[in-house]
Amino acid sequence: MNETEQYTATITWLSPPTLRNDGTFRKDEIYTAVITLVPKAGYTLTGISGDFFTVNGADATTNTADSGVVTATFPRTN
């Protein structure tokens, strides 16, 4: 879990969720993360447009309007 003054964030990895034994990503896999942002008191996600967020290194990033649930798909690993 990560947090700032404005929000708390959790990241869940979707399939394939398998990592190598040393905790690194496996070769030749496409990884997808669901990032959930929960605003703290005094902050809101109201007014956030669909597909507003960007994630460094992701090929595609999506979210619905007024939502802090972001799906990020990353390119196939080398």
- Average pLDDT of span 1-9: 89
* Global confidence as pTM: 0.83
Give 19-53 pLDDT, tens digit per residue: 667 767 778 888 899 999 999 999 999 999 999 99
**Does the pLDDT at position 18 exceed 90?**
no
Question: Are 60 and 73 within 8 A, CB to CB?
Answer: yes
- Residues 51-73 have a mean pLDDT of 97
Which pLDDT score, from 0 to 100, does residue 16 have?
Answer: 60
Neighbour count for residue 37 (Cβ, 10 Å)? 20
Report the pLDDT value the prediction gives residue 28, as an integer from 0 to 100. 85
- Does 12 have pLDDT greater than 70? yes
DSSP-derived secondary structure for 5-65 = SSEEEEEEE-SS--B-TTSPBPTT---EEEEEEEEPTT---TTPPTT----TT-SEEE--T
Among 39, 40, 56, CA closest to 48: 39
